[in-house]
Structure 1
Amino acid sequence: MNRQLQRNLVLVAAGAAVTAALAKELHKPSKARTWTGRIFGLPYDFRRPTPEKIAREFWDPDSDAFFTPHTFGVGYGVNLARVTRELRRSR
């Protein structure tokens, strides 16, 4: 499979996940919408991000998780604090 096709498939899958998550929220009564949850096994969060949440997505030294839910959108980010800890440990 060539790289362009792979990129296109990833973009289509990402777009489908975002669309499905938004549709899931919009099908709820307006007072029941949380704008956060899971779709296709992936976390989603469409609430307004705060600087603290953004920082915690990428740097959470209190967490052992390599991947943390995105602050905004669908999917995961990388906990660089955990990556750094593992790199130091391997030296």
Structure 2
Amino acid sequence: MSRKKHTDHAEKAAHGGGGLKKFLTLVALALTAAAVVKELRTPAAERTWHGKIASVVPYELRVPTLARARERLWDPDAENVVGPRVFGVGWTVNMGKVTAMVREKIGV
């Protein structure tokens, strides 16, 4: 690889020029917009500010609470390792469940 090409690749990497990163950012913004539109189309008395987009992608737009953060980030007794985010659109890893599974595997 020539010095010019190497410099171009390094410059793109340093400035976040990756196409995948931009694509994922656009997807996240589109999903967030879809969640807000879904809530705003719901009558005001029925808005919950949490749910799913297209019955698949969870969203949580309520003010985060410590109880919700603990439930979603550190709940060793949860059914799933992956669940809705504490705030935003998409999923998060329940590290409490992961830790419980590892401890069970190694016998601690």
Structure 2, unmatched stretches of 5+, are: 1-12
- 1:24 matches 2:38: yes
- 1:34 matches 2:48: yes
Q: CA deviation at 1:86?
A: 2.4
Greater CA drift, 53-62 or 16-25: 53-62
Aligned match for 1:5, one of 19, 32, 54: 19
Q: Secondary structure at the match of 2:45?
A: helix
Q: Secondary structure at the match of 1:19?
A: helix
Matching residue of 1:68 = 83
Q: Which protein is bigger by CA-based radius of gyration?
A: 2
- How far apart in 1 are the matches of 2:50 and 2:63? 11
CA RMSD of aligned residues (A): 1.7
- How far apart in 2 are the matches of 1:52 and 1:86? 22
Q: CA deviation at 1:16?
A: 0.5
* More RCO (CA 8 Å, sep 6+): 1
- How far apart in 1 are the matches of 2:102 and 2:33? 37
Write the deviation string for residues 14-51 of structure 1: whole angstroms up to 9, x where unpaired.
Answer: 00000000001011221121111100311111111111
Matching residue of 2:69 = 54
Structure 1, unmatched stretches of 5+, are: none
Q: Secondary structure at the match of 1:44?
A: strand
TM-score, length of structure 1 as denominator length: 0.87
Q: Secondary structure at the match of 2:18?
A: helix
- In the alignment of these two chains, the number of paired residues is 90
Identity rate, percent: 36
